[in-house]
A and B are shown apart, each in its own frame.
Chain A
Amino acid sequence: MTAGEEQPVQVRCPQCGQPLIESRCAACQVEAESRFVHRELMVLLVLTAAVVIGLFVTRAVAHANHRLKLKDAAVWSAAAERDLADGRSESAITALHRAATIDPHNRQYRLALAVALVALHHDSAARQVLVGMRQTLPEDSEVNLLLARLEAREGNTAGAIQGYQSALYGTWAADEDGRRRQARVEFVRYLLAQGEQSRALSELLILSGNLPDRLPFQIETGELFRDAGDPRRALDHFRRALRLAPDDRRALAGAGEAAFELGEYAAARAHLRAADPDRSTPQSARLAELRDIADFVLERDPLRPQLSFRNRWDRLRLATSRARERLAACFGSPSLEPQRRRDLESLGARIAALEAAHRRRSRERAIEPIEMGLSLVYQIERQTAGCAAASPLDRALLLVGDRYDIDRR
């Protein structure tokens, strides 16, 4: 620049006084940019802080509320217990509903509700509660057991069996062995009621394998084996029970019955005599009858080993005499059909011939005539079974015949 040339006018920023470049102030632009960025960052920071604080505050409030709700649920549950104790079942169910709604995670409330609903036969509601529980607690044995009972009550055998099996292989809250055993016993009883004998026997074998050596369990298992048609295992359990309590009448009766089923009439008689049934109930009357039959079997069996031939002939005579009485009773029946009358008359003729032969052959020491005589008595007892009620002696004679398979001899 030479002297005398005019100095160009430098335009300055009205805000900061810095020179403008291309009509812009670089310093102010930087400052504006900086303010914007700082505000942007501040917004994000404040929002982050708000989110964090909000999260903690809300969490604290929600947890405090949850604790209060749990207290409310406990109050409702206690009210339900009082209602149940006072017999106000519907009111108890309402209270339990509230408890379970307030605290839906509490297994105890929901289970109590389900039990109360089942007890009041509110099956549909109980099922919904239990199905809901099973969705969250699929292995809960108590839930599955209650569901099995519901299915059983509604006649859904497959559902009930599935429920019982889920209960048996699930988990129990307390006393796992005991509760599982009880459930298995209940399952066996259900299977027996449904006529599923072989399935019941399978479960009984598992039950028997894990059974504590205690009187009630042995007796109960023995009775179940007996009902399932396995008198041999039943007798084993009753005998174990008798080792624990030799005078227990229930065990004696069970052992007697099982021994009778097995044809062990001497043992049956011994156990049944020890049980001393008094005929005061149908069950004890049945036991007394079994004892009488066992007596007759032992005392009137002409083929019993180690008897003298004289004794055998005497026993046969008594048997034929009873057979004749049965025939006479049948001939007196007004409803006897002609064909049947002719059959019975034929048997009558044969028994008369046999009695005549007895008198002639009573000194013989051969077993065949005695077998033949017993066979005829057996036929008459069977043929006359429909004419008159069978006495213990008649049943004993039939059992004796069955015992030696006398029909085939």
Chain B
Amino acid sequence: VPTSLQQLRLREHQVFFALTVAVGVLAGLSAVLFTVAIERATRLFFGLEPSAARLLLVPILVSLVTGALLAWVFPDVRGSGVPQTEAAYHLHGGVIAARVPLGKFLTGVLCIGSGHSMGREGPSVQIGAGLASVIGRWARVSPTRIRDLVPVGAAGALAAAFNTPVAAVLFALEEIIGDMNAGLIGSTVVASVASVVVERSILGNEPLFRVPEYHLQHPAELLAYALLGIVGGTVSVLFCRGLLGLRRLFLALPQRTRAVQPALGALFIGLLLTVAPQVMGVGYDYVDQALNGGLVLNTMILLCCLKLIGTIVSYASGNAGGIFAPSLYIGAMAGGAIGTVVHSIAPFPTADPGAYALVGMGTLFAGIIRAPMTSVFMIFEITQDYQILVPLMVANLLSFLISRRFLPVPVYHALLHQDHVHLPSSAARSTSTPWTAGEVMGPVALAAGSETTAAVWHRMTVENADAYVVGMVDGPPGVVSRERLAEAIESSRTDELVGRLAVPVGVHAHPDHPSDIVLDRLALSNGVLPIIQRDNAEQVVGIVTVSHVVRFMKHRRDQSFR
């Protein structure tokens, strides 16, 4: 019996392969259901030809419901879902609560279906990743495998949502994992293919857009595409800054208003829809029209601006929906507008405006999402035309560079920063480092801001601490070093509150940061480098000073001699 059981038992990689296929299919199905549900919801809420009153009221009324759901039932499904998925992969070992995919599906359908200017791809990614995580935990695979299933589910969902299997794989590697050389490429490819096969068997092998025939009419046309890249990069920066700025304002509002914030945004969206119903929801119908020359110059400029504003308001007010589709929409309108102008004034033959709209989509995607490889391959997969690659790369590269120059932190990471979550950079994920901040850091010695300098100095001499983290009543914690306290004592400021001496936590590191980053930041600090949690940037878990580093190195040296 034992022998036969041993034979029956599958090896872990065989189970993982089976899970990968199942996750790919289920993620694809979830993406298809999500798309269909949004379409039905939109039809239900607005009918065929909605009146102005309906356009105004539907977003507000539905957002009151979704606001309550997002505040009290599903607090972790606001926004796109891509940043949360990245955080789950990098910080939580791939664990995503079972309520997340369910909540994202429900609130996503309600928010996008009720006219909010948001996309369905980001939520699909979170739903797919969430399903993958739930399945992995239910199947009791190892923690590493649970983590690995997250990008697999994300790739499967995105492949079905956008019908671009290669771009979905690249997105999972480039954005979710953050490493194009990740060992998970095989699994993501399997999930992506399984998902797309299922999606096409249900919806047919239809591209998302009907794209015009593309030809580079004249070599000088590359200049026009370069112009498009510059404009796309500028619009991307405007979009990201606007989004982050307005979201910061919404986050600064009292916590008790959290439930009505989506409805506040919906009030603006309702008014916007009465003026321009074209900005409603995902908006791919109008992208299709821009691609096929169905919109005039003024309309495209107007829609580009209104979609940009509408998406900023919808997202910043805390609704559930992504920025993937809006970035494509804005890009198509900007590209179409530039194409129309170039087509009419260029002294050389140029392609139709639809071709510029197509490249514009990739340009804005590269500028906003900051996934350049995904942006190129996504448009390439949509067109299936090699000729578009060169103009696409020219425009995308320029847009990417401009966006990176003016926005050092990509928008998904910046959104996480606003939620006090700091994802590890690629350098931080490097494994060839001699030590990490977590290994070197000393324990946190805590002091209250209301304590006197003399009292804290006394404790410091007793506890032999290098620095104290000072808790503040009305703000983030600060740090006070031994040198600073000594200075105060020497100048007889013994009764001064230690809160006044504390320096707010500015330059900091995370426990997984490698030695080079820690030393670099220590040099920038005032001698004490606070180490803070990645998933809660307000929690100081340790400090690093020069003496900590020296002590650690001595300790390691002694151990190696032994």
Q: Does A395 contact B (CB under 8 A)?
A: no
Q: Does A129 contact B (CB under 8 A)?
A: yes
Task: Give every chain B residue within 8 A of A68 (Cβ-Cβ).
Answer: 40, 43
Chain A residue with the shortest CB-CB distance to B10: A40
Q: Does A194 contact B (CB under 8 A)?
A: no
Segment among B101-109, B206-214, B249-257, B448-456 that sits at the interface with chain A: B206-214
How many angstroms from the CA of A39 to the CA of B5 in the assembled complex?
Answer: 12
A101 shortest CB reach to chain B, Å? 5
B325 shortest CB reach to chain A, Å? 16
What is the number of residues of chain A that contact chain B, defined by CB distance less than 8 Å?
A: 40
Known contacts A62-B203, A68-B43, A97-B289; is A124 also within 8 Å of B352 by CB? yes
Task: Give every chain A residue within 8 A of B6 (Cβ-Cβ).
Answer: 33
How many angstroms from the CA of A131 to the CA of B39 in the assembled complex?
Answer: 28
Chain A residue with the shortest CB-CB distance to B294: A125
A128 touches B26 (CB 8 A): no
A125 touches B1 (CB 8 A): no
Q: Does A230 contact B (CB under 8 A)?
A: no
Chain A residue with the shortest CB-CB distance to B47: A72
B213 touches A48 (CB 8 A): no
Contact with B2, one of A30, A51, A76, A131 (Cβ below 8 angstroms): A30
Q: Does B25 contact A (CB under 8 A)?
A: yes
Contact with A61, one of B18, B33, B293, B352 (Cβ below 8 angstroms): B33
A128 touches B212 (CB 8 A): yes
B2 touches A29 (CB 8 A): yes
Task: Give every chain B residue within 8 A of A54 (Cβ-Cβ).
Answer: 25-26, 29
Q: Does A50 contact B (CB under 8 A)?
A: yes
Q: Does B139 contact A (CB under 8 A)?
A: yes
A74 shortest CB reach to chain B, Å? 11
B299 shortest CB reach to chain A, Å? 12
How many angstroms from the CA of A125 to the CA of B18 in the assembled complex?
Answer: 48
B331 shortest CB reach to chain A, Å? 18
A72 touches B352 (CB 8 A): no
How many angstroms from the CA of A128 to the CA of B296 in the assembled complex?
Answer: 13
Known contacts A62-B203, A125-B293; is A47 also within 8 Å of B33 by CB? no
Q: Does A342 contact B (CB under 8 A)?
A: no
Task: Give every chain A residue within 8 A of B2 (Cβ-Cβ).
Answer: 26, 29-30, 33
Known contacts A40-B10, A104-B206; is A55 also within 8 Å of B293 by CB? no
Known contacts A33-B5, A51-B25; is A62 also within 8 Å of B32 by CB? yes
Contacting B at CB under 8 A, from A62-76, are 62, 65, 68-69, 72, 75-76
Known contacts A37-B9, A40-B9; is A128 also within 8 Å of B29 by CB? no
A62 touches B36 (CB 8 A): yes
Q: Does B15 contact A (CB under 8 A)?
A: yes
Known contacts A54-B26, A76-B48, A101-B285; is A62 also within 8 Å of B8 by CB? no
Contacting A at CB under 8 A, from B126-140, are 135, 138-140
Task: Give every chain B residue within 8 A of A62 (Cβ-Cβ).
Answer: 32, 36, 202-203
A-B complex: 7 closest residue pairs judged by Cβ atoms = A128-B292, A128-B293, A47-B22, A124-B293, A58-B29, A54-B29, A132-B210
Interface residues of A (CB under 8 A from B): 26, 29-30, 33-34, 36-37, 39-41, 43-44, 47-48, 50-51, 54-55, 58-59, 61-62, 65, 68-69, 72, 75-76, 97-98, 101, 104, 124-125, 127-129, 131-132, 135
Interface residues of B (CB under 8 A from A): 1-2, 5-6, 8-10, 15, 18-19, 22, 25-26, 29, 32-33, 36, 39-40, 43, 48, 135, 138-140, 198, 201-203, 206, 210, 212-213, 285, 288-289, 291-294, 352-354
Known: A40-B15, A69-B39. 6 other contacts (CB 8 A): A34-B1, A47-B22, A51-B29, A65-B40, A101-B285, A101-B288
